[in-house]
Structure 1
Amino acid sequence: MTIAQHGQSVNQAFVLHPGGSFHYEERDIPTLHSERDVLVQVIATGLCGSDVHYWQHRQIGRYIVKSPIVLGHESSGVVVECGSESGFAVGDRVALEPGVACNTCSHCRAGRYNLCQAMRFAATPPYNGTLATYFCVPAECCYKLPPHISLRDGTLIEPLSVAVHSCRLAGDMQEKSVVIFGAGPVGLLCAAVSRAFGASTVIVVDVVPSRLRSAPKHGATHTYHAKSQSPEQNATDLMKIEGLKLGADIVLDATGAESCMKCGFFVLTPGGTFVQVGLGRPDPSLPVGQICDKEIVFKGSFRYGPGDFRTAIGLLQTNRIRLDGLITHEFPFSKAEEAFQNVASRAGIKSVIYGPDVDEHGAKSKLI
């Protein structure tokens, strides 16, 4: 089946320009470069905080928007063309892993391809993302959706993989107590994965009550509304929650906020593990005395690595994790900029943009 037979002959893209303005453009349709490549019609894309940050600040660390770029990297779609060695067929419903590693460097060969310095990651300058009609990836970056997961909800597999990777870094969670800072999409998915991995106590912390109300649906056994007081006092109040008499075994910070990080170190039990999931200021002030005094294990978490997408899909396939209620706002392609504004205002939990000319009803439907 050709692209024209599939009903789409134009590749529409939503493009961010260096000055901060968005424009709709028609771009060339990507072509397959090998028999293992897959061309996907993008059905839906979830917006990430990094997308909004590039729009508002034009830079994240060493990645700078110097030329027009297509944002978006949390996507699902339908295969419209594929190579003979891809293992896919036209019509397959897939989630996309948006980074292509070199597969030859020492990090890739050691099984840590997320650290590959030659990584071509969608929506990270200079590489274009998925807010377009079509996106082309190698077969290893495509994952068939479980039949009970809609294409709309398939956009959550990428952030779910981030949560899986973070929880794996935390180590054995069986019967452990876990405190998670941030009740946004990644924080809530970290809670869900923690419970699926066996944690007995999962406490989600946030300053937004409406987000905390969603936490019990996604694995939280307790919630804590952080107050306008010192990190030490918030930690003291947190430890009054059942199961935290000696402090938490594990802390996952999905906010990047300095106050949350400090509180996390104070609430950890001696010998506990702290995993930094979210990014905030590049140089926060941290209580090094607490880190040393408690012999805290501090780990950074970066995207996802081998097996994380497979595990995420396995958790969905077996219904150990449910995605209901995480997507709170949906936008047609023609209102993509409105979606960015919605995320910037912190409205709801997750916002999704449908691809050009997508049947939104069909995107929400499941195969079973």
Structure 2
Amino acid sequence: MLSTPLPNPSLQVTADHSLKQVDAPVHSPGKGEVLLHIKATGVCGSDIHFWRTGRIGSLVVEGDCILGHEAAGIVLKCGEGVANLKPGDRVAVEPGVPCGECFLCLDGRYNLCEDVQFAGVYPYHGTIQRYKTHPSKWCHKLPDNVTYTEGALLEPLSVVMHGIKSAGLSLGRGVVICGAGPIGLIALAAARASGAHPLVITDLEPRRLEFAKKFVPSCQTYLVDKNLDAQANSKRIRQLFGIEMVGEYGAPETVLECTGVESSVVTACYTARRGGTVMVIGVGREIMNNLPFMHLSLAEIDLKFINRYRDTWPSGLQCLAGSILDLKSLVSHTFPLEKALDALHTCGDLSNGSIKVQIVDEVEDVL
């Protein structure tokens, strides 16, 4: 461990679904690693899941673990063998460190590596702390015109980019985005930048739809009616595409499902046109029992899924540096690192009207 005149405050989740703010040790960077001062970390829905339920599918919190994986920071020290970075470099942190040896890694599909060490997923500590070591290979230099705030948004942007690439959006073809949370809003902006049209975004919360309309003015919004079933809601969504005039061909070719909520996934399945694609980007329950199997089968609708991302960070950086996407307005709340607990509570309560909550640390580097 390194000796430092400043503490290393961190936010940790425990096995009994509690949160605690404690000082963590500061480690020296090992071979191929860098020591980072984390300047910004976004709060993700998965952080809330780990706090409140203790698990996401097979990923279980079995002990104390520092949360956080949407991060950007500055390099303070370099370990042996680091050639791509130097102290003072500003970087975005790609949080997953795959094994590099399994058949999936060797095939370039490292996001599916079963031995991945992912920041903020027990037992691997995350980025809601001041100082963190990370392999330099998975740290990406920020262009001068990209801020730490934007750098921390690269992680959710990467999720969306992987989903859009896998879904195969088509220029001038209609898209529905289910869910106007951070991932859905980024998907909306990215779909627009990709040339998809018309665009419809759905949600249960009117305020989020109002934000979506300001964020991407060309989109249409649909407030999901809790009193209607999936087929009835999907019929109303489809009507926004003018299918009564142009028939089934005018229905949305692609649906990006960004909530993971079972009822929304089912609605998405009924919304996509025959021969279309439903791409589930959101994280949901371990088992879903009500998927309309025969509807999907008879209509040859592709129901697809993604797991995180791969090879998206360089292109994501170019999207931000080149102003293809401007995501800064998504950050609705910021908290200093010492008040990280408040950040989690704010993000976890939708009545606060938050979009993306970030935790920032503006103390000067001292190591």
User: Where does residue 38 of structure 1 map in the other structure?
Assistant: 34
Q: Using a 3 Å threshold, how does the CA distance of structure 1 residues 324 and 32 change in structure 2: closer, same or farther?
A: closer
Say if 2:13 is the partner of 1:10: no
* Aligned partners of 2:257 and 2:281 also within 8 Å: yes
Say if 2:155 is the partner of 1:150: no
* Aligned partners of 2:169 and 2:191 also within 8 Å: no
Could you list the per-position Cα deviations for residues 104-133 of structure 1 after superposition, in whole angstroms to 9, with x for gaps in the alignment?
100011111010011000111111111111
User: Where does residue 72 of structure 1 map in the other structure?
Assistant: 68
User: Where does residue 117 of structure 1 map in the other structure?
Assistant: 114
TM-score w.r.t. length of structure 1: 0.91
Q: Using a 3 Å threshold, how does the CA distance of structure 1 residues 86 and 136 change in structure 2: closer, same or farther?
A: farther
Could you list the per-position Cα deviations for residues 252-285 of structure 1 after superposition, in whole angstroms to 9, with x for gaps in the alignment?
1111112211111111111101111112222221
Say if 2:322 is the partner of 1:342: no
User: Where does residue 266 of structure 2 map in the other structure?
Assistant: 262
Say if 2:304 is the partner of 1:299: yes
Task: Quote the Cα distance in structure 1 between the aligned partners of 2:69 and 2:255.
Answer: 27
Partner amino acid, structure 2, of 1:270? R
Task: Quote the Cα distance in structure 2 between the aligned partners of 1:301 and 1:191.
Answer: 17
2:268 match: secondary structure: helix
Task: Quote the Cα distance in structure 1 between the aligned partners of 2:13 and 2:265.
Answer: 32
Task: Quote the Cα distance in structure 1 between the aligned partners of 2:242 and 2:133.
Answer: 47
**Which runs of 5 or more structure 2 residues have no equivalent in the other structure?**
none
2:263 match: secondary structure: helix
Could you list the per-position Cα deviations for residues 72-104 of structure 1 after superposition, in whole angstroms to 9, with x for gaps in the alignment?
111111111124533112111111000100111
User: Where does residue 238 of structure 1 map in the other structure?
Assistant: 237
1:214 match: secondary structure: helix
Task: Quote the Cα distance in structure 2 between the aligned partners of 1:323 and 1:128.
Answer: 27
User: Where does residue 323 of structure 1 map in the other structure?
Assistant: 327
* Aligned partners of 1:201 and 1:243 also within 8 Å: no
* Aligned partners of 2:39 and 2:73 also within 8 Å: yes
Partner amino acid, structure 1, of 2:159? V
2:203 to 206, 226, 242: 206
1:286 to 279, 285, 291: 291
TM-score w.r.t. length of structure 2: 0.91
Task: Quote the Cα distance in structure 2 between the aligned partners of 1:37 and 1:299.
Answer: 35
Say if 2:166 is the partner of 1:165: no
User: Where does residue 364 of structure 1 map in the other structure?
Assistant: none
Partner amino acid, structure 2, of 1:227? D
Residue 9 of structure 1, CA deviation: 4.6
* Aligned partners of 1:177 and 1:243 also within 8 Å: no
* Aligned partners of 1:189 and 1:218 also within 8 Å: no
Task: Quote the Cα distance in structure 1 between the aligned partners of 2:10 and 2:265.
Answer: 38
User: Where does residue 357 of structure 2 map in the other structure?
Assistant: 351
Pairs within 5 Å for 1:78-157: 78-83=74-79, 85-157=82-154
Task: Quote the Cα distance in structure 2 between the aligned partners of 1:62 and 1:282.
Answer: 8
Could you list the per-position Cα deviations for residues 133-155 of structure 1 after superposition, in whole angstroms to 9, with x for gaps in the alignment?
11222222111223232212321
Residue 243 of structure 1, CA deviation: 5.4
Partner amino acid, structure 1, of 2:177? I
1:124 match: secondary structure: coil
* Aligned partners of 1:175 and 1:201 also within 8 Å: yes
Task: Quote the Cα distance in structure 2 between the aligned partners of 1:113 and 1:214.
Answer: 35
Structure 1 runs (4+) deviating above 6 angstroms are: none
User: Where does residue 308 of structure 1 map in the other structure?
Assistant: 312
**Which runs of 5 or more structure 1 residues have no equivalent in the other structure?**
360-368
Task: Quote the Cα distance in structure 2 between the aligned partners of 1:141 and 1:302.
Answer: 17
Residue 217 of structure 1, CA deviation: 4.3
Task: Quote the Cα distance in structure 2 between the aligned partners of 1:21 and 1:231.
Answer: 35
User: Where does residue 362 of structure 1 map in the other structure?
Assistant: none
1:227 to 225, 228, 231: 225
Number of equivalent positions:
352
Could you list the per-position Cα deviations for residues 34-60 of structure 1 after superposition, in whole angstroms to 9, with x for gaps in the alignment?
1x3222100111101111111111122
